[in-house]
Structure 1
């Protein structure tokens, strides 16, 4: 477990959508596994209406609708996790701000993608993932269907320190879900060792390519080895591909139940800025995405 001492709850964002219910159920399973309480949180944005008689749009429900959404989510979660400690809360404020505030004392924040037909996700989920102080799961229904065996958990790793944290979460969650784990290292090697063009007039340093591939594979083995020893029952597959990480992981997500990646923040706001791969996956993955901080 990687739970910090001050991280005391799993928080699920509730907005009345079907994906929010799915996110709440996923969060409940995670909370149960880690012996943590679950908080179901509904944010009520402060609106400044120009016309008192105007009705608020559907994406900004009134508090009564929020209470109903919370009650529905709590009932659904209790039906599958009757012994789980559950707290519900409705707070006034912007959705991303409310969940960012809650994340300061959370182990994990879990949110749904919203409408089922909202394929290129933006809006709240991206802002939430940018601003949380802990790891975040953006939940959507996987497109893949189980055929007798659990779908795999996919984890993408690279040269960053975040890879160790991502691996730790991925091994833990794969055990929680009784699922096989696929560890993936994707790196566009050709760009680093050659100057070839579409006309074939460039060159490729094949010896350097072989050396870099060998070093990357060894790095992958070294990262995985301590976790494989700890989780001796884990079924682990390693994939090493010369492909864009964002595209490769998105392709694999079509046959997975979860993709795990590091946040890869950079600069002065490293803790609150997503890297290009994690942000791309939040937009385009075909299953839930776990962004590890």
Structure 2
């Protein structure tokens, strides 16, 4: 993350969860000393029939109506942020392109992208928002799928998944950076079937350099033999954020995100940050 030169980007669509996500993004930007970019764009028009219908309806309303709607959406976001975060350097923009394309393009120079997601429910667990999946799958910075009821970072722990690949190391680094700025602790979770001594040695190899770099961050190490997603979900009671790396590289959604990242997007009751190799090229 490089908050000095890269903004926190948040997408808004007029929904309550998007406004709450925008407030969280503004608070995070303040803590990171980063600018904030609040973006409203046309609906995602992917392969989900309901999304495509929504996009067609927007097009049918015509450009004048669309511009008026965007002004209302951005005004609501500006009001929600302005009442709580007067110190943040924020811009509010409408871009007349599909939202996933806009956010992916902005992710190239962003510290993070934030999107509001609905609360976990049986229905939400079956299909997370198509826009969120499309952005997470292609973004070139960390993406936060925000949900819950907390609109300010606080001192509750940040949970992060730890394994040996580059994306996971990026996730662990992000966890320590954010914890340091938020005044929070880190719960580092390693899930797997290695011998316990090997798992603890692996955790130490990843964590110890960051402990030295961020000495004020309290760290709890957890070794769990279960699958990574279940191991992480068990640690989320009382947490404010969960962070994982995604080593997915395939063409299908599950392969693009990785099973752990997709699981957390479906089931995490708290905001979930997905990190992929920074500024990587994507097939």
The TM-score range, normalised by the shorter chain, is 0.7 to 0.9
Cross-structure match for 1:219: 202
Q: Is structure 2 residue 139 aligned with structure 1 residue 156? A: no
Cross-structure match for 2:10: 12
Q: Give the total of aligned pairs.
A: 257
Aligned residue among 89, 114, 119 for 2:93 = 89
Aligned residue among 105, 122, 142 for 1:101 = 105
Aligned residue among 174, 179, 183 for 1:174 = 179
RMSD (Å) for aligned C-alpha atoms: 2.9
- What's the secondary structure of 1:106's corresponding residue? coil
Aligned residue among 234, 247, 264 for 2:217 = 234
Structure 2 gaps of 5+ residues are 46-54, 277-283
Cross-structure match for 2:2: 3
Q: Is structure 2 residue 83 aligned with structure 1 residue 79? A: yes
- What's the secondary structure of 2:264's corresponding residue? helix
Given that 1:154 and 1:260 are in contact with CA atoms closer than 8 Å, whether structure 2 keeps it comes out as yes
Instruction: State the alpha-carbon separation in 2 of the partners of residues 66 and 250 from structure 1.
Output: 36
Given that 1:44 and 1:63 are in contact with CA atoms closer than 8 Å, whether structure 2 keeps it comes out as no
Distance 1:171 1:129, change over 3 A: same
Alignment deviations for residues 11-34 of structure 1 (CA, whole Å, 9 cap, x no partner): 100011121122112211222222
Alignment deviations for residues 18-64 of structure 1 (CA, whole Å, 9 cap, x no partner): 21122112211222222221110001248446x96xx79xxxx9432
Given that 2:120 and 2:267 are in contact with CA atoms closer than 8 Å, whether structure 1 keeps it comes out as no
> Aligned-pair distance for 1:279?
1.3
Cross-structure match for 1:250: 233
- What's the secondary structure of 2:111's corresponding residue? strand
> Aligned-pair distance for 1:115?
6.8
Higher mean displacement: 250-259 or 127-136: 250-259
Structure 1 gaps of 5+ residues are 144-148, 190-208
> Aligned-pair distance for 1:83?
2.2
- What's the secondary structure of 1:3's corresponding residue? coil
Given that 1:18 and 1:114 are in contact with CA atoms closer than 8 Å, whether structure 2 keeps it comes out as no
Alignment deviations for residues 167-196 of structure 1 (CA, whole Å, 9 cap, x no partner): 111011112222221110011x2xxxxxxx
Cross-structure match for 2:281: none
Alignment deviations for residues 98-152 of structure 1 (CA, whole Å, 9 cap, x no partner): 2112212212100001477663223111111112121110100159xxxxx9422
Q: Is structure 2 residue 247 aligned with structure 1 residue 264? A: yes
Q: Is structure 2 residue 93 aligned with structure 1 residue 110? A: no
Q: Is structure 2 residue 115 aligned with structure 1 residue 132? A: no
Instruction: State the alpha-carbon separation in 2 of the partners of residues 113 and 268 from structure 1.
Output: 23
Q: TM-score, normalised by structure 2?
A: 0.81
Cross-structure match for 1:25: 23
Cross-structure match for 1:204: none
Q: Which structure has greater helix proportion? A: 2
Q: TM-score, normalised by structure 1?
A: 0.78
